Structure 1
Amino acid sequence: MSIELVAQVMRDAFIRILLIAGPSVLVALTVGLVISVFQATTQIQEQTLSFVPKLLAIFLTLMLTGNFMLNLLINFTKSIFKMIATM
């Protein structure tokens, strides 16, 4: 196993990590920003007000993008097993 191959596998793994975690993180960031602006304009400083909408939004995001995430992980795992088999 060469250094180039290891670097390529690591690069692919990091890209897949970003693709899998990205939608949930972006939704949480967006919902958190909207709730923070709402809290600042209404001067309501309740901690649970930001938690519940974020939780629901992330759950909805996982329901909508879960199939994509799972297929991405399965394809990556298959490619890793194929590389292991050829060594």
Structure 2
Amino acid sequence: MGADQVSELMRHLLREALIVSAPVLLVASLVSFLLSLLQTLTSLQDQTLSTVPRILAVVLMILAGLPWFLRRLVTYTVGLFFDFHRYLG
């Protein structure tokens, strides 16, 4: 396996990881921004107020997107296994 094949595999792997993790990261960022804005406007500085809703939003996003995440990762893995002969020779 040459260096170009390794870099191609890594590029595809990182692209898939970015695509799969992007919705969860966007939801976490949006919830964090809104909670920070709410805390600033109301002058509440309780850490639980910002942590619990953020964790809840991330968990709900993961549960809602799980079928799509799994379908995307299974498609990537099956494609990798079908092209496996290219990387052995």
TM over 0.5: yes
Instruction: Tell me the CA shift for residue 85 of structure 1.
Output: 4.1
Ranges of 4+ aligned residues in structure 1 off by more than 6 Å: none
Q: Percent identity?
A: 31
Structure 2 residues without counterparts, runs of 5 or longer: none
Superposed CA RMSD in Å reads 1.4
SS of equivalent to 1:45:
coil
TM-score by length of 1: 0.89
Aligned position for 2:16: 16
Aligned position for 1:44: 44
The amino acid across from 1:55 in the alignment is I
Equivalences for 1:46-61 in 2 at 5 Å?
A: 46-61=46-61
Instruction: Tell me the CA shift for residue 63 of structure 1.
Output: 1.9
Structure 1 residues without counterparts, runs of 5 or longer: none
Number of residue pairs the alignment of both structures matches: 87
Task: Give the Cα separation in 2 of the matches to 1:69 and 1:63.
Answer: 10
Q: Highest relative contact order (Cα 8 Å, sep 6+), 1 or 2?
A: 2
Task: Give the Cα separation in 1 of the matches to 2:75 and 2:6.
Answer: 18
Is 1:76 the counterpart of 2:76? The answer is yes
Aligned position for 2:25: 25
